[in-house]
Structure 1
Amino acid sequence: MTLLKCATHVVSDLDDAIARYESWMEYRTVERGEVPADLAAAWNAPASAGRGYAVLQPASGEDVFLRFVEGDPVPEYAPIRTYGWAAIELCVTDVEAVNEKMLQSPFEVIGPPKPLDGFATVKPMQVRGADQETVYLTQILQPGPGTGLPEPKSLIDRPFIMVLACPDLRKTAQWVKDVLGLPMIDPVAIRYSMIEKAFGLPETAKTELTTARGSGQVFLELDQYPDAATERPRREGALPPGVAITTMLYPDFDRLEGHWASAPVVREGAVYSGKRSGVLVTPEGALLEVVEGGEI
């Protein structure tokens, strides 16, 4: 089981985003509406109240979702250049087949399938959509408890890792340990093509990263971003552009007392299922929405 529940991305045209993911990622819409004012306030994004949103579920039927929220474009925003949630990573059964599909799609292939430096358990590729969303599509070569990786049930399955861009990797890793009590691997340095391209780094450059497990599966990746990275620009009172929120399950709300940026309340809908949900803010200011449930 994964603790990851939902990845939320801001889009300029909700209908277009839905069509893109239904047609090419084989997702289906399970909920649609307008962002309630109290939820927007919990996200510290009152300007997002009343904006359209949709929740989409993968073809596998897994209850781990993508959520799109309408927002006005931020012209100065550039993907993989700022701190905060950087990318959504979906697990796939056959990355070469997915690549062929993506080449025919409106998504731009920005990284073709290739082995990942230092990680023999996965084979990723990367695409970018019309809303500048960066999506990693990763074949799991060695699923199971030993690797902490899932076994996808559809060609393109659920989000399985959310990527957080950090100005201080060790500070954020310590925050994850202290606040959430999650085990993390020691940082490793690898060649990271997406960061190389975004910042114009030489091929000899290495990027440090670490990952966190919960309920036996890896679901968070923390990346150390170069000094040239900046805080994410955003419209006043609105959700930040790009990946705005990661939503996770967590069983021990008593542990989180004193850390809430927005206190838990009961919420309905596909993402919340009538459970309590509150909001934490990571050291770099990223929104981490927490729904009561799951097991560590």
Structure 2
Amino acid sequence: MMESFDAPGRIRCGTILCPDLAASEADYRDLLGLELIDSAPVSDALAAAWGAPAMAGRETRLLRAPGGTPYATRLVAGSAVPGFAPLKSHGWAAYEHTVVDCDALYARIKDSAFEVIGAPKLVPGFDNFIPFQVVGRAGEVLYLNQVLKSGMSDLDLPHTQAVVDQMFIAILAADDRAETVAFHVSELGFTEGQTWTIPYSVINNSFGLDAATLTAMTMTKTGRTPGCEIDQYPDAARARAVTPGELPPGNALVSFIFGSLDALRVPLLGPPVRIDDDLYQGRRAACVRGPSGEIIELIEGV
């Protein structure tokens, strides 16, 4: 049984930096079936908490699956970064969402603004889900998975009746996988899960590597709730270029439910902020930066 959605370790929101906010919003509403629930601009205090002061005043769109979980997708207006390409830099690489019907969704979006980079297929060694992968117009990467069996050996995977529902794993491109895993365990309270070594077609295709090239990836979790898949990226990967004062392009920031911010031992990117809206619900939030450049927003649990 999945724990409460506000339990520590749960992914509460994924944020995407969008050079064309209106077009991205239309994609998520019309193609992925999400509904708009809020459109407040970024406050000065929230931008400061992100460590991204230039984001103050930027328009946002908060969307959610009708009839789905409390998870939210947040689109925020930002600058295009020259030379940015998905799946080539360290940081948040992709958001892995649960969907009700992979084949139907693939048919719906395969000729749209979402570029399919991996058609639906079973992954060798994994029979719990059917995944496929797309890149959106903002350079964000989504893994869209139809869960076939909810239980793995040490993880629970969520079913849904929504076209696209919650992000249940955040995919992280690591410069040093072991260091990044250690940070998420020691500083953020996650547990280290299993490590797999597989031919990872999305990464191999992105870097022009031989199809048989192996990638090591380690899961983090809280109890049986998955957190991050931390992938060791090739040496050719670089730090992500960012417009000064803004969030990173593409998959920009992942928000997790956390315990008390007072327990954190690592530096914050800015002062904690308390926001009374659908996402934060009056709770405090703050951000830290991980070893691979990832910005992690921590929202105190209820």
The Cα of 1:248 is off from its aligned counterpart by: 0.5
Which moved further from structure 2: 23-32 or 249-258?
A: 249-258
1:227 maps to what in 2? Answer: 235
CA distance in 1, matches of 2:205, 2:33: 29
Which stretch of structure 1 is more off in the superposition, 137-146 or 281-290?
137-146
CA–CA distance in 1 between the matches of 2:162 and 2:270? Answer: 35
Q: Say whether residues 1:216 and 2:224 are aligned partners.
A: yes
1:151-201 CA distances to partner (integer Å, 9 max, x unpaired)? 112132121111110011011111111012211224211111110111001
Show structure 2 runs of 5+ residues with no match: none
Q: Who is 2:98 aligned against?
A: 91
* Alignment match, 1:185: 193
Q: Which of 111, 127, 136 matches 2:134? A: 127
User: What's the TM-score once normalised by structure 1's chain length?
Assistant: 0.94
Whole-Å separation in 1 of the counterparts to 2:135 and 2:112: 11
Is 1:141 aligned with 2:148? yes
Kept after mapping to 2: 8 A contact 1:90/1:135: yes
Question: Shift in Å at residue 262 of structure 1?
Answer: 3.0
Tell me, what secondary structure is at the counterpart of 1:262?
coil
The counterpart of 1:13, out of the listed 13, 20, 24, is: 20
Q: Residue by residue, what CA displacement relative to the aligned partner does 1:190-218 show, whole Å, maximum 9, x if unpaired? A: 11111011100101101110111125311
Question: Separation in 2 of the partners of 1:243 and 1:4?
Answer: 14
Question: Where do 1:39-54 residues align within 5 Å?
Answer: 39-54=46-61
Q: Secondary structure at the match of 1:187?
A: strand
Asked whether the equivalents of residues 179 and 259 of structure 1 are also in contact (C-alpha less than 8 Å), the reply is no
Q: Who is 1:203 aligned against?
A: 211
The separation in 2 between residues aligned to 1:11 and 1:210, in whole angstroms, is: 29
Give the CA deviation at 1:293: 0.8
User: What 5-or-longer segments of structure 1 have no aligned partner?
Assistant: none
Between stretches 207-216 and 81-90, larger displacement belongs to 207-216
Q: Which residue of the partner structure matches residue 169 of structure 1?
A: 177
Which residue pairs with 1:106 in the alignment? 113
Question: Against the structure 1 CA distance between its residues 104 and 285, is the aligned structure 2 distance closer, same or farther, given a 3 Å change threshold?
Answer: closer
Within 1, Cα distance between the matches of 2:40 and 2:282?
Answer: 17
Q: Contact 1:87 / 1:133 at 8 angstroms: preserved in 2?
A: yes
Residue 251 of structure 1 and its aligned partner are, at CA, apart by 2.0
**How far off its partner does 1:265 sit?**
3.0
Shift in CA distance, 259/46, structure 1 to aligned 2, threshold 3 Å: closer
State the shift of 1:219 in Å: 2.6
Cα distance in structure 2, aligned partners of 1:223 and 1:210:
7
**1:259 positional shift:** 4.3
2:158 to 132, 143, 150: 150
Report the aligned-residue RMSD. 1.6
1:57-68 mapped onto 2 (5 Å cutoff) = 57-68=64-75
CA distance, structure 2, for counterparts of residue 138 and residue 279 of structure 1: 28
How many pairs align? 294
Percent identity among equivalent residues? 35
- Matched AA of 1:226: P
Give the distance between the partners of 2:204 and 2:38, measured in 1 at CA: 37
Task: Give a deviation string over 1:260-296, Cα, whole Å, max 9, x none.
Answer: 33343322222211011111111122110000116xx
TM-score (norm 2): 0.92
